[in-house]
Amino acid sequence: MNPKIGFLNPPVKLKSFKNDLAPIGFFLDIFSSELFEIPVMPIPMRIDNLTNGIATFFIIPDFTKLNILLERLDLVFDFYSFITQGIHNLIIYAKRKYKEITYRTLPKELIIKWFENSLNLTAEILSLKQDFTFITSEFLKIYSKIEKKQIEINSKDYYNVLTDYCEVNIKYFRDRIENNQFKIFEKGVLKTVELYKEKRSKYYPELIPIEVKNLKMNKVNKLTFVPYLIYDDILDCFTYNKKLLDDAKLKPLNLTTWKNYGIINKRSNIDNSEYNYNLKNFNLKNIKLEILL
């Protein structure tokens, strides 16, 4: 049967907006899936800019704070492998969704154009930087706890640690929304704006303008996005994961997966060179596009 029957006019492209910054961050999930065997998850799962070759802003955490934590935990976090896997997962998801919606194969040229355009964007969005530093830090803490206490995979204690991890993140992002404050920089000055307006017990998310520099064009433009929706997506993710843990119908990921793929490891297990584990040495431009495709 022709899959196009019943949908005679599939869209040629997905709708996107030229001035949409479309920030995307990445986190280490506790469940894998058929599509994401190594679940470094992009959030939000936005594919509109990608499928149109329009830049996405990649949210990078605070490397100074992560370096301090990693040293205390005696861990190494290979951010290059982490974000490479995350971007790869975003691309394979985009390819699948694009084909489902348009019945076409996502052109390789559009992916290349999107990635190269994304590398040229730089901006300072303090709240998002803090948020993804928090998510990553909390995961590194539970990884260290499970390893140091030698908690058996899929034991009751293992589930309890993962549940606590979900609850910590749920509380953090609920508080973010309830506090209704979002920090950005405007002309180099720190500014606090509202995530939403509230009327008659309903939230109306705000569109926030951000100063973004295009390194290739050496030009600063104002692009916009809706941070409330990012927080809402993160909350949904951790709430869903907690439900999966509570129901105990799906086994969580064995966290040794991250060691097996070289994303997290003990410092004593690697080459004792600061360059290998100092996150400040990371540069997005060092990511090899052929690995992503």
Range in 34-43, 123-132, 169-178, 263-272 the model is least confident about? 263-272
Secondary structure of the chain: what % helix, strand, coil (to 5)?
50, 15, 35
Average per-residue pLDDT for the chain: 91
pLDDT at 1 over 60: no
Listed in sequence order, the residues at least 6 apart from 255 whose beta carbon sits closer than 8 Å to its beta carbon are 30, 142, 143, 146, 147, 153
pLDDT band at 289 (very low <50, low <70, confident <90, very high): confident
Which pLDDT score, from 0 to 100, does residue 210 have? 94
List the beta bridge partners of residue 203: 198
Q: Is 48 helix (H, G, I), strand (E, B) or coil?
A: helix
d(CA 250, CA 236) in angstroms, rounded, equals: 18
Q: Which of 160, 175, 164, 177 is nearest to 138 (CA)?
A: 164
Q: Which of 30, 83, 3, 97 is nearest to 252 (CA)?
A: 30
**Identity (one letter) of the amino acid at 10?**
P
**Identity (one letter) of the amino acid at 89?**
N
Residue 225 and residue 11 in contact, taking contact as beta carbons nearer than 8 Å: no
Within 10 A of 149 (CB to CB), how many other CB atoms are there?
Answer: 10
Residue-wise pLDDT for 113-135, tens only, equals 999 999 999 999 999 999 999 99
Residue-wise pLDDT for 220-253, tens only, equals 999 999 999 999 999 999 999 999 999 998 999 9
**Could you give the percent of the chain with pLDDT greater than 70?**
94
Phi, psi (5° rounding) for residue 270?
-125, 175
Instruction: Using the structure block, give the residue that is written with the tokens 């002309």.
Output: 187
pLDDT at 6 over 50: no
Q: Is 142 helix (H, G, I), strand (E, B) or coil?
A: helix
Residue-wise pLDDT for 246-273, tens only, equals 999 899 999 999 999 999 998 877 765 5
List the beta bridge partners of residue 219: 214
Residue-wise pLDDT for 10-32, tens only, equals 787 788 788 899 999 999 999 99
Instruction: Using the structure block, give the residue that is written with the tokens 């993140």.
Output: 169
Residue-wise pLDDT for 45-71, tens only, equals 989 999 999 999 999 999 999 999 999
pLDDT at 93 over 60: yes
Q: Which two tokens stand for residue 243?
A: 């439900």
Within 10 A of 240 (CB to CB), how many other CB atoms are there?
Answer: 12
